[in-house]
Amino acid sequence: MKIAIDLDEVLGDFMKAFLRWYNHTFGSNFTREDIVRYHMGDLLGISRAEEIKIMHRFFRENGVDGIEPMEGAEEAIKELAREHDLYVVSARQNILLESTRRWINEHFNGYFKKIILGNQDSLDGEEAKGKNKICQELKCDVLVDDGSYHIESVFGGNVSVIIFNHPWNIYHRFPPSVKRADNWQEIIGLIKEREKVNV
Ligand SMILES: [Mg+2]
């Protein structure tokens, strides 16, 4: 199968690195459990435009190197790559492509066919591409993601969705066709089940 896999909060622990930086920079004390919405501006008490600026500042000041892989991701990707075509599908901006490629090569070298960025919320005015469009072009069978917005964008197509559970999506209601996973072991189990439908 062709499997599209999100990067931040699925392959890499973006939130851990982001909150470490944010709390240090702004003298706050937020934890992962505080982040109960995908767009965290409301929780941080800032507008969406400010939130986007802060994200850019985080990447500018930190790069992506401090982001650790999610627990179990490296072993799981290695296993999945034996039988499936894997694609990194991230909403990250194009300016992060080179650093993202380096990060993927460092932790997941050779397991992904391609890295595709959606360039969402970029400051360069370049066009953004939604995950629905990317999944359609790839003709992917499965999308693994944590963002409710991205997940809902692929509804109506042929993509099976696995959502990686996090505080910011756990209260979001999805149709029963969307499967939930707490960790990479569960994701592998769900992909094996999905495979049975394919044969
Ligand atoms: Mg994500």
pLDDT, tens digit, for every residue of 88-137? 999 999 999 999 999 999 999 999 999 999 999 888 778 899 999 999 99
Quote the ligand 1 centre to 163 CA distance (angstroms).
10
Specify the residue for token string 């919405």: 37
Extended beta strands in 33-166, E state:
85-90, 114-117, 142-145, 160-164
Q: pLDDT tens digits, residue range 30-44?
A: 999 998 887 888 888
Quote the ligand 1 centre to 183 CA distance (angstroms).
14
Residue 138 dihedral angles phi and psi, to the nearest 5° = -75, -20
Quote the ligand 1 centre to 150 CA distance (angstroms).
9
Number of structural domains (the chain) is 2
> Is 148 within 8 Å of 141 (Cβ atoms)?
no
Provide the residue range defining the domain that includes 32: 14-62
Are residues 86 and 146 located together in one domain of the fold? yes
E strand or H helix that includes residue 150: helix 148-153
pLDDT value at residue 40? 82
Q: At what angle do helices 14-26 and 48-62 cross, to 10 degrees?
A: 100
Residue 177, both tokens: 């066709």
Residue 133 dihedral angles phi and psi, to the nearest 5° = -65, -45
SS3 103: helix
Residue 124, both tokens: 């360069």
Instruction: Show the DSSP H helices in 154-183 as ranges.
Output: none
Q: What does DSSP say about strands 160-164 and 142-145: parallel, antiparallel, or unpaired?
A: parallel
Are residues 83 and 36 located together in one domain of the fold? no
Quote the ligand 1 centre to 7 CA distance (angstroms).
6
pLDDT value at residue 37? 83
Are residues 94 and 120 located together in one domain of the fold? yes
- Alpha-carbon distance of 12 to 121, in angstroms, equals 19
Are residues 79 and 40 located together in one domain of the fold? no
Are residues 154 and 102 located together in one domain of the fold? yes
Are residues 154 and 123 located together in one domain of the fold? yes
Please compute the mean of the pLDDT values over residues 72-78 and round it to a whole number.
Answer: 98
Specify the residue for token string 């999905």: 194
pLDDT value at residue 199? 61
Quote the ligand 1 centre to 131 CA distance (angstroms).
11
